[in-house]
Amino acid sequence: MNLVLSPPEIRVIGCLIEKQITTPEQYPLSLNALTNACNQKSNRDPVLDMDETVVQENVDQLIKKFLVSEHGGYGSRVAKFQQRFCNTEYGVLKFSPQELGIICELFLRGPQTPGELRSRASRMCKLADVNEVEAMLVSLAQREDGPFVVRLPREPGRRESRYAHLFSGEIAGSEEEETPAASHRQPADGFRIALEQRVEKLEAEVAELKRLVAALPRNLPQDD
């Protein structure tokens, strides 16, 4: 993947994708609406304070890269903008609704765990559980036209690793960089935890069966 975008460009595209999905009746966005979306205090990390001039400069750069297009609307003098980053007739990037929701959340909030993505991306797409999120992340990390995400080393005190997008370039210190194909060798954290819980349950059931067998009478009456 040769596409490398700056953090402000990522914020602009993330906001356009988010509003396209969550408020289609207000999409495309005017410069004012897009600026407000970029500086939104909820569902953003970090919270930014970009003025319209800065947003317009980043929009202009994205237009030159054919990732955003400008539309004046029917009889409207206010320019409005929409994304051409993915899932359009003009672009080559295609994502499923689940993949797009996850990518959008990574654009808006930065690195996150599968559990966090499951909770936050559900407002944009249907995600059954954390296992589905992990499956989407593996798919995004292994796509032939990618990779688009990478797993980061687990932080102290966290049970899950975080994932980051790669549309701003490679990330130093990622697990994949330190140990190639690590995602192929290590089970996802959610699967490992579920497996451990299953083993504990089976061990408890075996112990209970042993107790019941030990409690049976040793000399059972026999039929004639």
Using alpha carbons only, give the angle 82, 112, 137 rounded to the nearest 5 degrees. 75
Residues of the chain with CATH 1.10.10.10: 7-83, 99-189
CA–CA distance from 17 to each of 40, 73, 144 (Å)?
Answer: 14, 19, 23
| Token couple for 156 | 């102290």
Percent of the chain with pLDDT over 90: 66
> What is the fold, at CATH topology level, of the domain defined by 99-189?
Arc Repressor Mutant, subunit A (1.10.10)
Average pLDDT of the residues in 202-220: 72
Helical (H) or strand (E) element with 29: strand 29-30
The DSSP secondary structure of 89-116, one letter per residue, reads: SS-S----HHHHHHHHHHHHH-SB-HHH
pLDDT score, position 187: 42
Nearest by Cα to 102 from 81, 62, 82, 132: 132
Residue-wise pLDDT for 104-113, tens only, equals 999 999 999 9
For the domain bounded by 7-83, which CATH number is listed? Answer: 1.10.10.10
Q: How far apart are CA 63 and CA 33, in angstroms?
A: 17
Q: How far apart are CA 36 and CA 55, in angstroms?
A: 10
Better-predicted residue by pLDDT, 190 or 39: 39
Average pLDDT of the residues in 153-160: 88
